[in-house]
Amino acid sequence: MRVQEVGPAIFRRMAAIPRLTPRKEPRQDRSRALVADLLEGTRRVLVSKGYDDTVMAEIAEVTGVSVGSVYQYFPSKESLLTALHVSLLEGDVTHLADNLMEHRDTDLEGLAAVVAAVALESFHAHRDVLHALEDAAHAMGSERKLAPVRAQGVQLLTGFLESHVGYRGEEPELTAHVVQRLMSSMPRVLTECGEAELAHSRLTALVHTALLD
């Protein structure tokens, strides 16, 4: 699956968040495309080599440009990796937002099912990259850049819960955090050790439990 185009739908729906600032604002189509190609190239290298062996030269090579060009768009390796990470997380948040909107009238249990489904989809879309990217993020201490996107996801959920008729909890934000965490960490075990059906039902149960608090 291709890395999503930069500048996702969610922007129209939520307050702006601080963006990664690539060296040069990709205004022309050419640039836009190259930035996207670069993210995609990065993804491929990351998946095939793992964080430690992800090397700028190879990213350039698989993307079909020169190292110099990479640095024209991203001032550092870190910024490139982080941009990819942000892009993926944003995609996931958008995906979640879309689905929540669509099921805004479902009861808590239905909601849990939706959330579980979204989580499993996101997981399948990114299985390997995100793993590698998380290493990268810690290793480079670039969490700071990711925090906003994560926070955005939490806000989304928090807001949703607060306005949801079925939700009776007193700490919607904590709940949002917990749900986010369930979404990001359970899919792997569930799909690696069980069938798809099972995975969904079990994850749903966990999310439901979380929503009840």
Partner DNA sequence: GATGAATGAGTGTTCATTCAT
Partner DNA sequence: GATGAATGAACACTCATTCAT
List of residues contacting its own copies (CB under 8 A): 50-52, 131-132, 134-135, 138-141, 171, 173-174, 177-178, 180-182, 185-186, 188-190, 192-194, 198, 201-202, 205-206, 208-210, 212-213
Using CB under 7 A, count the residues that bind DNA. Answer: 20
67 binds DNA (CB under 7 A): yes
Nearer to its own copies, 4 or 204 (CB): 204
Please say whether the beta carbons of 45 and 54 come within 8 A.
yes
CB of 26 to its own copies, least distance (A): 20
- Give the whole-angstrom CA distance, residue 143 versus residue 129: 16
Please, are residues 184 and 133 in contact by the beta-carbon 8 Å criterion? no
Query: Which tokens is 74 given?
Result: 């991203």
Residue 174, binding choice from DNA, its own copies, none, Cβ under 5 to 8 Å by partner class: its own copies
Q: How far apart are CA 156 and CA 133, in angstroms?
A: 23
Helix locations, 28-107, DSSP H: 29-49, 56-63, 67-73, 77-102
Of 68-76, 92-100, 141-149, 193-201, the segment contacting DNA by CB under 7 A is 68-76
Between 50 and 110, CB nearer to its own copies? 50
Residue 78 binds which entry of its own copies, DNA, none, with Cβ cut-offs from 5 to 8 Å by kind?
Answer: DNA
Structure tokens at 161: 């819960």
Structure tokens belonging to residue 53: 């062996």
Q: How far apart are CA 190 and CA 205, in angstroms?
A: 12
Least distance in Å: CB of 28 to DNA? Answer: 8
Q: Which is nearer to DNA, 78 or 134 (CB)?
A: 78
Q: Which does 18 bind (CB under 5 to 8 A by kind): its own copies, DNA, none?
A: none
Cβ–Cβ < 8 Å for 115, 207: yes
CA distance 39 to 3: 7
Q: Is 56 exposed, middle or buried (0-12, 13-18, 19+ CB in 10 A)?
A: middle
Minimal distance in Å, beta carbon 36 to its own copies? 26
**Interface positions, 29-58, toward DNA (CB under 7 A):** 30-31, 34, 53-57
> Which residues are near DNA by CB under 7 A?
24, 30-31, 34, 53-57, 65-69, 71-72, 75-78
